[in-house]
A and B are shown apart, each in its own frame.
Chain A
């Protein structure tokens, strides 16, 4: 399988804390890859490095063979990486459809054009995207008054606006009601399958992960401890220990060594 994103030996330390330690993995074309792990495992740090918000200490992030390290987020976006935020980030002073139009205008490099009325630009394209996520009938409402689940769907539409090859979703269902979570992830899975987009997402809700991920990676204390199919990861004793034993892997090791 050809991989869209390849991460090689990525590392980041904060002081003496190895937040992400020598992490390597790849995201295949059209793959829905979940990155899970307990709190503080390094998921968000990892994500921020992929998006250019944090400079790694070492390692490479290759998008179709091109190194992204050192590029600012906006340049990485232009190379075809979309993202959604853990806490939604939209433009509250604009309408729903304008939020999407804004991303399309940016993609078409119309940011510095003074002449046209922005509200008429790419409106159809934007409405089509909203339709895709089931938000078309809310197109002209203010984004500020949307319910949280709708904001999440709006974010998804924004992330799709520049026809990305890869989507990075940081806890896409965080803060949503359980029934909504499965629905949103189903919607995401359908869309990316349809458009052939690869997705890397982090998630705490195991129902969501096991229902939709093609493959699961488990991060603990900055290192990948498991990487495989849903079933493999679910049965992995180390993963169970990490999740159920409260991260005492290292303490146990010491004990067994002492014994």
Chain B
């Protein structure tokens, strides 16, 4: 009984920081509809700033005021981010802001590296709370007990703020209908800024509060991101009590997981999330997201049509030019081109469901990595030749998409996004922890192409054929009746259903199709590298695809290709420098602010304005 209770108390103590960070994310999303990828970075900054201030202020008073100072400082950083980065792009297409927040992650990572160095910082112990207390013979850190005691006060304070104060009334009103709040004379900009301050401050407090337990390091931002997404989704987007319950649930579960099933701790969290969402699709205490209640942001999409003769000619010329690369460029250039074609296909497959289907998936890496692992497993265990893997791996990925889609398609909007994220994390943790089969962290190596294709030049042409073939198939599908049915389901589900279209079935098929195409990209990837590691299934990989699609322009068919090429080239060039993340992050933020329709979208607009192309030629 003793160990059991001790474990339980540890779980409760861990919940404190998790709840703080998650409630901040939930608040920000509820009011601004921004999925703040940079929330983990605020948490990390809280830890670093708290650490520094603790060095300056001595004693128990110093310790606790350092935590407050860290919270306030991070809150102010949040305000700066909101005003400089997000304000200029509120009128951009929905969810576009997440690209900017991704840029912020990169910037903060390098700024933290410059300021605090690469080494992990061991958090100072809380003065006066250094020892342990024995409960039923088991040692429980005093600090844990203090956290457990503090958490209800934080919950109460937040609850009071949200339900009893004017700011709270505004926040709740804006969560329900922000346009109405604006119509009633509330200055939206400052409300958003205020909420950002509050949300970032909560994250900062969380980061500083966990210092004695976890310290501060540069991986904290991504490490907590998955957990807080899970907490917010299980609790229900925008619900504080929900976030609290979910934080406790997940933390306790993790502690017991580590003790009783160390092989599957990571999987456990996502399994719980999937189960909760299958039973309660909008989280424990969330409410259904009514489609369109917040209004479509940005201009409506232009109708598009297949390329005319001129367009096809241009594409053909470009492809022929690319095909001469082996004669002109170096081997390195070919490898870079292979990489770019592969990510283009990956981004195009995400674009298909994201843009045409209106289904924003945060877990598309599941299919890229899924295809890669399917091919690698076939080669490794069955000695399958490359040709067979190219046929079967995408099909297997398609089946994977059927399974994941079956759970996800019933949801919409951000819940859909989060559940896809959960499933991709589930797959990642499976691969990561099932080392006997997948090699775990060490990955799988020696997955080489067939002898005839092992020469770089040959493989380059193979990649061109398969990669552009896949992209053409996706593009053609967009112009086919199926693509139209998919857009119809997105544009007006009510009209579509009232004219005989089974919108959910159409979306399900599209999800499967896009999954299979991402699997094809993954298969190309594994043979081009000869190896595969779990990183290809990570959140970062899914985010990469999202960034590419948004950066290029969601509302154009060329967007994903432009975005994928641009991001890959920027990465390739900038990673030569020490602080490349800072540069890349700033570059992304700059592009986002200058070109809110994405690179392709904005250039088409400009071209139309300057009379280079006619408006109706914009595709």
Tell me if B245 is interfacial: C-beta within 8 Å of chain A: no
A74 touches B500 (CB 8 A): yes
**Interface set, chain B 567-619, CB cutoff 8 A to A:** 616
Tell me if A102 is interfacial: C-beta within 8 Å of chain B: yes
Nearest B residue to A113 via CB reads: B481
> With A91-B495, A93-B300 known to touch, is A111 a contact of B501 (CB < 8 Å)?
yes
Q: Across the interface, which residues of A come within 8 angstroms of B499, CB to CB?
A: 74, 77, 102-103, 106, 158, 161-162
Q: How far is the CB of B356 from chain A (nearest CB, A)?
A: 9
Of the 9-residue stretches B35-43, B266-274, B380-388, B485-493, which lies at the interface with chain A? B485-493
B498 touches A51 (CB 8 A): yes
A118 touches B481 (CB 8 A): yes
For A106, give its contact among B476, B483, B501 (CB under 8 Å). B501
For B494, give its contact among A89, A106, A117 (CB under 8 Å). A89
Q: Across the interface, which residues of B come within 8 angstroms of A72, CB to CB?
A: 497
Q: Across the interface, which residues of B come within 8 angstroms of A158, CB to CB?
A: 495, 499
For A111, give its contact among B302, B490, B498, B506 (CB under 8 Å). B506
B482 touches A74 (CB 8 A): no
What is the CA–CA distance of A117 and B500 in the complex, to the nearest angstrom?
A: 20
B302 touches A74 (CB 8 A): no
Tell me if A65 is interfacial: C-beta within 8 Å of chain B: no
B303 touches A95 (CB 8 A): yes
Q: Across the interface, which residues of B come within 8 angstroms of A111, CB to CB?
A: 481-482, 485, 501, 506
A83 touches B303 (CB 8 A): no
For B509, give its contact among A94, A107, A112, A118 (CB under 8 Å). A112
Q: Across the interface, which residues of B come within 8 angstroms of A119, CB to CB?
A: 305-306, 479
Q: How far is the CB of A179 from chain B (nearest CB, A)?
A: 27
Tell me if B301 is interfacial: C-beta within 8 Å of chain A: yes
Q: Across the interface, which residues of B come within 8 angstroms of A107, CB to CB?
A: 500
B495 touches A98 (CB 8 A): no
For A91, give its contact among B481, B483, B488, B498 (CB under 8 Å). B488
What is the CA–CA distance of A94 and B356 in the complex, to the nearest angstrom?
A: 12
Q: Across the interface, which residues of A come within 8 angstroms of B481, CB to CB?
A: 105, 110-114, 116, 118, 121
Tell me if B477 is interfacial: C-beta within 8 Å of chain A: yes
What is the CA–CA distance of A158 and B488 in the complex, to the nearest angstrom?
A: 13
A102 touches B485 (CB 8 A): yes
Classify chain B: how many residues form its interface, as a range.
20 to 34
**Interface set, chain A 72-122, CB cutoff 8 A to B:** 72-74, 77-78, 83, 85, 89-95, 98, 101-103, 105-107, 110-119, 121
**Interface set, chain B 250-307, CB cutoff 8 A to A:** 300-303, 305-306
Q: Across the interface, which residues of B come within 8 angstroms of A103, CB to CB?
A: 499-500
Q: Across the interface, which residues of B come within 8 angstroms of A140, CB to CB?
A: 616
Q: How far is the CB of A84 from chain B (nearest CB, A)?
A: 9
A93 touches B494 (CB 8 A): no
A85 touches B497 (CB 8 A): no
**Interface set, chain A 208-233, CB cutoff 8 A to B:** none
B492 touches A77 (CB 8 A): no
> With A91-B488, A93-B491, A105-B481 known to touch, is A74 a contact of B501 (CB < 8 Å)?
yes
Classify chain A: how many residues form its interface, as a range.
35 or more
Tell me if A142 is interfacial: C-beta within 8 Å of chain B: yes
Pick the most buried of A74, A83, A93: most chain B CB atoms within 10 A of its CB.
A93
Q: How far is the CB of B502 from chain A (nearest CB, A)?
A: 6
B484 touches A105 (CB 8 A): yes
For A98, give its contact among B301, B302, B303, B480 (CB under 8 Å). B303
Q: How far is the CB of A15 from chain B (nearest CB, A)?
A: 19
A102 touches B488 (CB 8 A): yes
For B480, give its contact among A114, A143, A161 (CB under 8 Å). A114
Nearest B residue to A107 via CB reads: B500
What is the CA–CA distance of A115 and B484 in the complex, to the nearest angstrom?
A: 12
What is the CA–CA distance of A77 and B498 in the complex, to the nearest angstrom?
A: 6
Pick the most buried of A51, A101, A106: most chain B CB atoms within 10 A of its CB.
A106
A85 touches B494 (CB 8 A): yes
Q: How far is the CB of B89 from chain A (nearest CB, A)?
A: 21
B487 touches A91 (CB 8 A): yes
Q: How far is the CB of B559 from chain A (nearest CB, A)?
A: 14
Q: Across the interface, which residues of B come within 8 angstroms of A83, CB to CB?
A: 498
Q: Across the interface, which residues of A come within 8 angstroms of B509, CB to CB?
A: 112
Q: How far is the CB of B518 from chain A (nearest CB, A)?
A: 18
What is the CA–CA distance of A98 and B579 in the complex, to the nearest angstrom?
A: 50
Q: Across the interface, which residues of B come within 8 angstroms of A73, CB to CB?
A: 497-498
Q: How far is the CB of B280 from chain A (nearest CB, A)?
A: 22
Q: How far is the CB of A203 from chain B (nearest CB, A)?
A: 19
A74 touches B484 (CB 8 A): no
> With A74-B500, A102-B499 known to touch, is A94 a contact of B303 (CB < 8 Å)?
yes
A94 touches B484 (CB 8 A): yes
B495 touches A93 (CB 8 A): no
Nearest B residue to A79 via CB reads: B500
What is the CA–CA distance of A90 and B499 in the complex, to the nearest angstrom?
A: 11
Q: Across the interface, which residues of A come within 8 angstroms of B487, CB to CB?
A: 91, 93-94
Q: Across the interface, which residues of B come within 8 angstroms of A94, CB to CB?
A: 303, 484, 487-488, 491
Q: Across the interface, which residues of B come within 8 angstroms of A176, CB to CB?
A: none
